[in-house]
Amino acid sequence: MTSIALVVLDTLRKDAFDEHFEWLPGTTFEHAYAPSHYTVPSHASLFTGLYPSETGTNANSHQFTPPNPPLPRRLQDEGLETHAFSANVQISRQFGWDRGFDSYNGSWNSKHANATDDIFEWNAFIREHRDEGPQRYLKALWACLSGDCDTVPSLKHGLEIKYRTHTVSDSGAQEALSHVRGTDFADDAFLFMNLMEAHGPYRPPEEYRTVEFEEMPGFAESVQEEPVDEAYAETIRQAYDDSVRYLSDKYEAIFAELSDEFDYVITLSDHGENLGEKGIWGHGLGLYPELTHVPLSIWGMDSGETREEVVSLIDVHRTILEMAGVGDTEYEGRGRDLRSPVAHAPQLAEYLGLNMWRERKLEAAGQTDEFSTYDRELYGIATAEDYYGYEDFDDEFVESGTSTLEAPRDRMDELIDDLDYSAGDDDIAVSDSMMERLEDLGYA
What average pLDDT score do residues 363-375 get?
A: 74
The pLDDT of residue 226: 58
**Confidence at residue 372, expressed as pLDDT on a 0 to 100 scale:** 78
Residue 290: the pLDDT is 97
Predicted confidence (pLDDT) at residue 19 exceeds the cutoff of 70: yes
Strand partners, 400: 388
Q: Which stretch of 44-58, 83-97, 209-223 has the lowest confidence by average pLDDT?
A: 209-223
SS3 state of residue 130? helix
pLDDT band at 133 (very low <50, low <70, confident <90, very high): low
CA distance 326 to 284: 35
Flag whether pLDDT at 113 surpasses 60: no
Mean pLDDT of 279-302: 92
Q: Which residue has the higher pLDDT, 411 or 131?
A: 411
**Surface-to-core class of residue 3, CB atoms within 10 Å of its CB (0-12 exposed, 13-18 middle, 19+ buried):** buried
User: Of 386, 393, 377, 387, which Cα lies nearest the Cα of 407?
Assistant: 387
Whole-angstrom distance, CA of residue 48 vs CA of residue 65 = 11
CA angle in degrees (0–180, nearest 5) for 435-43-432: 10
38 conformational bin, left if phi > 0, alpha if psi -120 to 50, beta if neither: beta
**Arithmetic mean of pLDDT, 1-19:** 96
- Percent residues over pLDDT 70 in the chain: 79
CB 85 within 8 A of CB 101: no
- Please, what is the angle between helix 314-323 and helix 39-48, to 10°? 40
Q: Is the dihedral of CA 118, 122, 123, 129 positive or negative?
A: positive
pLDDT, average across residues 249-263: 98
To 10 degrees, what angle do helices 173-182 and 230-261 make?
Answer: 0
Question: Residue 5: pLDDT above 60?
Answer: yes
Buried b (16+ CB within 10 A) or exposed e, 189-205: bbbbbbbbbbbbebbbb
Under a CB-based contact definition with an 8 Å cutoff, are residues 160 and 107 in contact?
no
pLDDT averaged over every residue in the chain? 85
Evaluate if residue 30 carries a pLDDT over 90. yes
pLDDT at 151: 73
Q: How many Å apart are CA 230 and CA 308, to the nearest integer?
A: 35
Radius of gyration of the chain (CA): 21
pLDDT classification of 222: cutoffs 50, 70, 90: very low
More confident: 50 or 116: 50
Residue type, position 418, single letter: D
Report the pLDDT value the prediction gives residue 9, as an integer from 0 to 100.
98
The pLDDT-based confidence of 232 (bands split at 50, 70, 90) is: confident
**Quick check: 125 and 140 in contact, CB under 8 A?**
yes
Nearest to 9 by CA among 290, 269, 297: 269
Q: Mean pLDDT check: name the lowest of 93-97, 216-220, 422-426.
A: 216-220
Residue 11 has a pLDDT of 97
